[in-house]
């Protein structure tokens, strides 16, 4: 590693990343940074129009696949199609998710299961399918998008919190099982990131906005690219000795008071 310069050690040239939920938000932010670092990206999502818009902004190194990770029976064919489209997948980003804002006592079994189906079962099925291929090639990265809800209690998101907390166990176990095979497994736990959805949620609630910023030492919201560059690091040669970690990218919110 010592002979490599700072530019090459963060380079993802020759890598192909499959990013679920890649058409908008954090997934698109990761895709932008990956492409800027030399990778090809395969954007997976349910909404073709959003994927096409994202691909247009990313250029010739971006590809799209319409798919739903909650439909577990489709996962093997999805991965096979991805590799036929853009070559062997060397990076998997488990970013797709759904959300439910409801008190724990009012959350039904079906609602709880729906959130876990996408976050937990979908991410696991993809990690297993892609992981087999990475192990066969003796190299690769699996990255999960965790959450502040993985680290501390947030009200009215019990299903989401349970799903994101499950990532902690999956990351550690997969890292231990796959490490000797040349595959690294990590997660990023984003803090409050600027987005259209977040801005709408906070526009009529200045007290909540002030409370969030008040517990964030850097006193600002993050940008999707902040998550993207952290993802580049974790999937690059610069992080060759890093596996099994959940990296908060949150302006210090998880350690703020």
34-55: pLDDT as tens digits: 999 999 999 999 999 999 999 9
Confidence of residue 257 (pLDDT cuts 50, 70, 90): confident
Least confident of 120-129, 165-174, 197-206: 197-206
Q: What is the DSSP letter of 130?
A: H
Question: What tokens were used for 215?
Answer: 């517990």
CB 148 within 8 A of CB 154: yes
**pLDDT of 163:** 95
**pLDDT of 127:** 98
Q: Tell me: the pLDDT tens digits for 91-140?
A: 999 999 888 889 999 999 999 999 999 999 999 999 999 999 999 999 99
* Mean pLDDT estimate for the chain: 93
Mark whether 233 is an active-site residue: no
- Of the two residues 190 and 203, the one the predictor is more confident about is 190
Question: What tokens were used for 61?
Answer: 């190194």
Using CA atoms, how far apart are residues 103 and 150, in angstroms rounded to an integer? 17
**pLDDT of 138:** 97
Task: Show the CA angle centred on residue 117, arms to residues 112 and 119, nearest 5°.
Answer: 95
- Choosing from 156, 160, 167, 233, the catalytic residue is 160
Would you say how long the chain is, in residues? 257
Question: Whose structure tokens read 């998710």?
Answer: 97
**pLDDT of 45:** 94
Confidence of residue 2 (pLDDT cuts 50, 70, 90): low
Question: Whose structure tokens read 């609630």?
Answer: 205
pLDDT of residue 1 exceeding 60: no
Strand order across the beta sheet in which 91-94 lies: 62-66, 40-45, 16-20, 91-94, 140-145, 183-190, 246-249
Domains, the chain, with CATH or none: 6-248 (3.40.50.720)
């Amino acid at each position: 590693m010592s002979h490599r310069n700072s530019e090459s050690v963060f380079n993802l040239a020759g890598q192909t990343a499959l990013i679920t939920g890649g058409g908008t938000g954090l997934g698109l932010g990761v895709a932008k940074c990956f492409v800027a670092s030399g990778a090809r990206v395969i954007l997976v999502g349910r909404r073709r129009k959003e994927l096409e818009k994202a691909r247009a902004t990313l250029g010739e190194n971006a590809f799209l696949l319409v798919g739903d990770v909650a439909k577990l029976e489709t996962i093997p064919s999805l991965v096979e199609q991805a590799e036929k489209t853009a070559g062997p997948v060397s990076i998997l980003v488990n970013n797709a998710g759904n959300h439910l804002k409801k008190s724990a006592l009012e959350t039904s079994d079906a609602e709880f299961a729906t959130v876990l189906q996408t976050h937990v079962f979908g991410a696991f099925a993809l990690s297993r399918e892609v992981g087999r291929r990475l192990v066969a090639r003796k190299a690769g990265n699996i990255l999960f998008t965790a959450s502040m809800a993985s680290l501390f209690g947030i009200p009215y998101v019990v299903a989401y919190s349970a799903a994101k907390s499950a990532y902690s166990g999956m990351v550690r176990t997969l890292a231990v099982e796959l490490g000797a095979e040349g595959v690294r497994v990590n997660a990023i736990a984003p803090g409050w990131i600027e987005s259209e959805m977040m801005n709408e949620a906070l526009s009529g609630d200045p007290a909540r906005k002030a409370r969030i910023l008040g517990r964030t030492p850097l006193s600002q919201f993050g940008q999707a690219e902040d998550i993207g560059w952290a993802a580049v690091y974790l999937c690059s040669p610069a992080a060759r000795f890093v596996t099994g970690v959940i990296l908060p990218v949150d302006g210090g919110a998880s350690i703020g008071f």
